[in-house]
Amino acid sequence: MLLISNSRVIDPKNRVDDRLSILVDKGRIVKISKRIKADGAERINANGLIACPGLIDMHVHMREPGREDKETIDTCSRAAAHGGFCTIVGMPNTSPVADNQTVISHVLARGKNALVNVHCTGCITKQSLGQELAELADLKGAGAIAFSDDGRPVRNPLTMRRALEYCKMLEMLIISHSEDLELADNGVMHEGWVSTMLGLRGKPEVAETVAISRDILLAESVGARIHITHVSCKNSLNLISAAKKRGVKVTADTCPHYFSLTDEAVIGYNQNAKVNPPLRSAEHVAAIKRGLASGVIDAIATDHAPHTALDKFVEFDNAESGMVGLETAVPLVMTNLVAARVINLRRAIELLTIGPARILGLDKLGYGSFSIGAPADITIIDPNKEGVVNPEEFESKGRNTPFAGMELRGWPVYTIVKGEVVMRDGRVV
What is the CATH classification number for the domain harbouring 6?
A: 2.30.40.10
Confidence tier at 151 by pLDDT (50, 70, 90): confident
| pLDDT at residue number 305 | 99
275 pLDDT above the threshold of 90: yes
Question: Residues 74, 45: one domain?
Answer: no
Question: Residues 165, 26: one domain?
Answer: no
Question: Residues 338, 419: one domain?
Answer: no
Marked catalytic residue, from 57, 150, 215, 303: 303
Q: Decide if 370 is inside a domain.
A: no
303 belongs to the catalytic site: yes
Q: Decide if 317 is inside a domain.
A: yes
Question: Residues 57, 40: one domain?
Answer: no
Question: Residues 32, 61: one domain?
Answer: no
Containing domain of residue 27, as a range?
2-50+376-384+410-428
Domain count, the chain: 2
Question: Residues 93, 172: one domain?
Answer: yes
147 pLDDT above the threshold of 90: yes
Question: Residues 255, 191: one domain?
Answer: yes
Confidence tier at 316 by pLDDT (50, 70, 90): very high
Question: Residues 152, 77: one domain?
Answer: yes
Q: Decide if 68 is inside a domain.
A: yes
pTM value is: 0.97
Q: Decide if 299 is inside a domain.
A: yes
The percentage of the chain sitting over the pLDDT mark of 70, rounded to a whole number, equals: 100
Residue-wise over 197-214: b if at least 16 C-beta within 10 A, else e?
ebebebbbbebbbbbbbb
